[in-house]
Amino acid sequence: MQDRFHTPLTADNAAVLLVDHQIGLFTGVRDIGVDELKHNVTGLAKAALRLNLPTVVTTTAADGMWGPLIPELQAVLPRELKVIDRSSVNAWHDDRVRAAIEATGRSKLIIAGLSLEVCAAFPAISATASGYDSYVAVDACGTFSETKRTTGLLRLQQAGVIVSDYASLAVEVLADNAHPDAAGVYGDLAMPFATLVGQLAAAYRG
């Protein structure tokens, strides 16, 4: 019998939770370049939507201290997707967020948040305690110091949350490079190394 560490993510069992990728919070990010973080979270969102993964997006105090979603992320989300603005520190403690996740019917939850050690880690740990298999896309998260990053990763691992990167999680869901959406997914992810390899291959063929 497979355990949760060995059961792969699929388009049928996974959902995505994006927590607090807001303008105000981005100003404090110090563990990853802001442009890289924008690239990664928007790539994850685009690939997830292309793969038909239910996606829940939330903010905290969007009309106040943290501001709205970064425009790069807002631009790739469907117009009909309602961003849930909440007051609770842990997104899992908001009944609307939890209900939206439960309504997906999925057992695996890919999470990214800003900050890593709070906005991603708290709901990931809570979801794990509630029986979900939680995955955190670390490079689609950011935080305010290396200490916070290190302690956040340690706490996630201590709680049994699976840590990975945004592209690997999406490619695991894709599963097959013969999939009709494979080229689109790789385009959404826009991985610099893969882009370079593609350019070199095209040059070689030419």
Please answer whether residues 167 and 42 qualify as being in contact, where contact means their C-beta atoms are separated by less than 8 angstroms: no
Is 141 marked active-site? no
Among 37, 32, 110, 26, smallest CA distance to 69 is for: 26
Catalytic choice (119, 136, 153, 191): 119
Please answer whether residues 31 and 177 qualify as being in contact, where contact means their C-beta atoms are separated by less than 8 angstroms: no
Cβ atoms within 10 Å, residue 63: 9
User: Strands 55-60 and 14-19, how do they pair?
Assistant: parallel
d(CA 40, CA 189): 7
What single letter denotes the amino acid at residue 121?
A
d(CA 71, CA 22): 9
Among 127, 148, 146, 147, smallest CA distance to 136 is for: 127
Q: So which residues are the catalytic ones?
A: 119
